[in-house]
Structure 1
Amino acid sequence: MAKELNFLDLFAGAGGLSEGFIQAGFKPVAHVESDKAACFTLLTRMAYHWLKNNCNQELYINYLKGEISRESFYKKIPESVKKSIINREISQKSLHEIFLAIDSLLGNNTLDLIIGGPPCQAYSLVGRSCDANKMFGDKRNYLYIFYAEFLRRYKPKYFVFENVTGLLSAKDRAGKYYLNEMQQLFNSYGYKTEYCVLNASDYGVLQSRKRIILVGRLGNKTGFYPKLTHCYSKVYVNEIFKDLPVIKANEGSVYTCQMQNYSGTWLYDVNIKNDEIPVTWHVARPINKLDAEIYKIAVNLWESKNQRLEYDSLPESLKTHKNRTAFIDRFKVVAGNLSASHTILAHLAKDGHYYIHPDKTQNRSITPREAARLQTFPDDYYFEGVLERPSRTAAFRQIGNAVPVLLALRIATKLKENWNE
């Protein structure tokens, strides 16, 4: 019987990358994440997998329905599952304690794989342009050094490092490219590395989202990068919204909702739809009368001409922003009639103007569930806040920062197929 391959997820976020590897058959040893809300999301997700494996999904369903508290729910989950979520910022100060926690979870087992990527703000083009110091000196630039320490200690056969495409051009004060510095450091610890820029829309995700996926392998072998086959979706983005209840701004529910009939197969094919578990987080944020008028104009323009709304073209009575030269596309419709939406970003946590629902009768921005579907999170994935009461802001931030689950699954499946080559 083949050995079950395990992995460690660093800078895990809400677990999009991890979920793809779990769906491919990898077993998580631990997740390390500094954000407390994301750690609660990870714990709830690992609790779901544990309950599913032990034929007790009813407890999870009761929790989603709000019939039991989070505290009561977690009391039913083994300590080993709880300890696998390590809520610590990775730093020189915390490294030793994190190592000890992982060692305890591993026991006598070795670690096969490390996945994850440090926060991307320091490398992103937007982050650098908005920062007065161009992100020079930002400690997040150097988190890859700690990543390498995990490689040195556990010596997994492979690692998968994800980040934004801005990493290709990001330099330190000396003019050295961070990507080159990373690869040299990983190489000094015995790892050959290869990378590609992958667009999630090329692999079945209904979203245009480009990311650098760097893969490292212990030893001197080259040519090991997973050869992913392009798998373009045959449906349009509207498929994401098809069976969700029709709601207007400030309507919907964080908890379970009554779904509409679904005659398609795509949501099942990509592991999003699960009829056994209630759907949560289909709740729309409120909008004011001014924005409601702008939303209608934006959707009508897209419907009639497939054109984006430019802010300066609005009637003067609807213009409230003084800056009319930058962010002229600050109101943007999610194009339901295309095979890929524009990129889902964590900015969704601040407002929904860049993600207007394509159905003008609903006249609202997309819900966390709709955003999660665009990121190919399963419908049974629940997003937590720091407190027991739900936090839409925390949910949007976690969803926007995640790796699309389906892209992670494609990478994990191919990596697993080629594991022993």
Structure 2
Amino acid sequence: MYKKSNRIICMGLMLCMTSAMILGGCGQKSENSGKIEIELVQYKPEAVKTFEKIEEEFNATHDDIHLTIESPNDAMTVLKTRFIREDAPDIIGIGGDVNFSNFIDSDMLMDISDYEGLDSIKQAYLDIDKALEFVPEDGVYAVPYVANAAGVLYNRAMFEEYGWEIPETWDEFISLCEQIQSEGIQPLYFGFKDTWTCLAPWNAIAVDLAPADVCSQVNKGETTFSDEYREVAEKTQALLAYGPKDPFAYDYNGACTAFANGESAMYTIGSYAIPQIHTVNPDMDIDSFVMPANNDASENKLNSGVDLQFSVMKDCENKEAAYEVLNFLLKDENVQSYLDEQKAVPCKEGDFELASTLDGVKSFIEEGRMADYQDHYYPSEMSVDAQIQTFLMKGDVDAFLTKFDTDWKRYNRDIIRKVEDYEKEHADED
């Protein structure tokens, strides 16, 4: 009832534009007589070599199916453009974020509730995906594959040299920062010149202090961001005192380089930055810990979201073949290979070996003490990353929160109306 009649509308398919260049070569399928053709387009260009290996091994072991995996640099733009042309691949590999929400809302994804491989996926990540639905839907629309984790990366050798202990509460974290400063060392590094990096500490703090479903609650009119995000904003702002004099001078690459060169003891970023840091200093001993934004340690959670998941398109004509591809992707050796190369967290249950850079958060992963990135629910048009950057520059908490509430209503008008309609329709079920 709440699906858009026209798939193109929901995707915001603004992209008209660049199509001519983007479409060249997209969607072409190899012709192998007698074989079912399955095409997968995934959005992680940094993992292209991993997927080239998977494609090669799959095709070498299957006589009846031929798999083609595309890993374009701007996969979301390519996908949306192809959707305009009604040239969708069979499977897409995307993140668990608002794009996934839009795809579900557009009725573009197949309900894969009958896929047996879902039984091997950790419930926490299935729940994270379910929460991304604008309104509750019947069915399952993705297989979570790998996740990442965001909190605080730290220089393990430096911590051991000075005898610093890992903090478990906010007060302990601030005390640690002050202790590090007293040693003449900069506690934190930021890459806030790139607006998106402002979301890293914001998300890691928000999962401890704001409800995991805060966006859903706001859409239902049950609360406001001014009420739920004030402490998040204040504590994100408090971090600036422990970073460089100009926290907006360095971009992401510059901050990774500075941390790799020992210019700070810690870096408020996710595990996804570790490969970049190691390109600068391959021998750097990095570990991570959960951002302890709450003073009740039991209330702190690991900020972890689905970094890559696979969805079968509703128009896929070969469901069984698509499921066979999913089975191959979920083979333990293929999952482990991805973890080794991308320093990721498995969404699948099993005895997988995690990178040593995740030692400090393993217990949270094993116990399922995790919450999704809050920005996975933010509409891109709202540019929350830029809003946070502006707030950190100006320091006006009230103005920031007021704008957040106002812009949320503006950019989520249609979704809020859908939620209201859904709540009215299902009022008798409560």
Query: What TM-score, normalized to structure 1?
Result: 0.25
Give the structure with the higher percent helix: 2
TM-score, normalised with respect to structure 2: 0.24
Q: Which of the pair has the greater relative contact order for Cα pairs under 8 Å at 6+ separation?
A: 2
